[in-house]
Amino acid sequence: MSASNDRAAPHPSLTRRQDKRQPKGSPVSRLLQGVLLSDYFVLYLTLIFFITAAVFYPTLSTPGNIANQLQNMWPLLAVAIGQTFVLILGGIDLSVGATMGITSVVGAIVMAQTLDPAFFDKSPLWGTLMRPEGGILAGSDLAVPIGVAVMLLLGTLIGFLNGYAITRFNLAPFMVTLVSATFFSALALWLTQSRNISGLPEAFFTLGKGDIFSVYIGPKLTPEIARRDILPFITYPFIISAGLAIAAQFLLSRTVFGRRMYSIGTNRRASEVSGVPSRSVITRVYMFSGFCAAVASILYSARLGIGQPSLGGGNLLLDIIGAAVIGGTSLFGGKGSVRGTFFGVAFFVLLLNILNAMRLSPFIIDAVKGAIILLAALTDITRTRLINRELRT
């Protein structure tokens, strides 16, 4: 996969124009075609999926489960937004998981209030940046803001290195980000000797599980309502991810930079002939992807209460790319939106919730996830062909 992909793909404005056109054929055919071509196709599918599954698994529709699944959505949405930007270019960023891991570790080293010598005395940082008294800023009131800033800067720096290597040496994004993922993942494990870093400040936890507005649903049977029975409604992770999504959508749809991204993803050579500074745009997009991965790392680390070197490992990368693709972002570049990625994340989180409710083995769950992503890619191809056919008539 390369950012220099020359395949023509319709601009999002053409997709919206197409939605307003009347499809041909029988009423049922027109209805199905209209739904398939709609920008809200994944949202419709998610709602139908949820209603149908709730009939067989009533626990899915309980307020507690819905609140828990919403909490699972926000970190995944943050990192999927960055991946969406990269995919629109026609590239791919395989290093987002490793970026999450190394930023989680570095942030914890800055903020930790205490460290156990039995766990970290073999670390190369022990005695310098890591001590029994804690990390670099242990006991400081600035530990959390500086730690968060360091995590964001590091994620952005990793994105810059990826973008610079891709544009400066004309290397394939797949290869560059794969090497980057391997290096930073190993670095995070080496620095901590594969140990999680605990002892983070309480103020940091607020970013991952703090709520601004909570609700209680049910009769009040006791004078004091237990905290576990109060459901978070508006949380800090929601505010952070929603703010990031709104800013990213504005960048995509309302700025010259966004139009240049679609132009490069559709046809890089033509965009360069038109004067688009493709190297600068690509580098900035990878920096933004690293920044989004760092935001997700903050949300996950604060929620877990630890700095975790393996954060972002396992099949999380499949979830990130899968959510973006299900949301309509093309693997070939030139097409995608933050709104679609939001729908894709909601569908993916719901799918995992249903598969877990069915008590399937992890192997079957992974196989189903892979099949769903393949089906989403095939659906995207079908949608693109239908749109192009309608535009020609």
Per-residue pLDDT reduced to its tens digit, 283-342: 999 999 999 999 999 999 999 999 999 998 888 998 899 899 888 898 888 889 999 999
Predicted local distance difference test score (pLDDT) of residue 39: 78
Share of the chain above pLDDT 90, in %: 55
Q: Please determine, for residue 15, whether its predicted confidence score (pLDDT) is greater than 80.
A: no
Q: What is the pLDDT of residues 166-222, one digit of tens each?
A: 999 999 999 999 999 999 999 999 999 999 999 999 999 999 888 887 777 766 667
The label of the residue with tokens 């949301």 reads 327
Tell me which amino acid residue 121 is. Answer: D
Q: Which residues pair with 134 in a beta bridge?
A: 131
Q: What is the pLDDT of residues 56-85, one digit of tens each?
A: 998 888 888 888 888 889 999 999 999 999
d(CA 359, CA 363): 12
Tell me if 99 sits within 8 A of 312, measured CB to CB. yes
Which three-class secondary structure state does DSSP give residue 213? strand
More confident residue, 293 or 224: 293
Share of the chain above pLDDT 70, in %: 89
Q: Please determine, for residue 22, whether its predicted confidence score (pLDDT) is greater than 70.
A: no
Average pLDDT of the residues in 248-252: 95
The predicted model scores a pTM of 0.87
d(CA 249, CA 258): 9
Question: Residues with Cβ < 8 Å from 386, sequence gap 6 or more?
Answer: 33, 36, 37
The closest of 53, 15, 9 to 353, measured between CA atoms, is 53
Predicted local distance difference test score (pLDDT) of residue 88: 96
Mean pLDDT of the chain: 87
Predicted local distance difference test score (pLDDT) of residue 320: 93
The label of the residue with tokens 């995608």 reads 336
Q: Please determine, for residue 86, whether its predicted confidence score (pLDDT) is greater than 70.
A: yes
Lowest mean pLDDT among 107-111, 131-135, 383-387: 383-387
The closest of 2, 35, 1 to 383, measured between CA atoms, is 35
Helix (H) or strand (E) holding 197: none
Helix axes 236-254, 338-357, angle to 10 degrees: 140
Predicted local distance difference test score (pLDDT) of residue 23: 54
Predicted local distance difference test score (pLDDT) of residue 384: 74
The one-character DSSP state at 59 is G
Predicted local distance difference test score (pLDDT) of residue 3: 41
Q: Please determine, for residue 228, whether its predicted confidence score (pLDDT) is greater than 70.
A: no
Tell me which amino acid residue 382 is. Answer: T
Predicted local distance difference test score (pLDDT) of residue 6: 42
Predicted local distance difference test score (pLDDT) of residue 29: 73
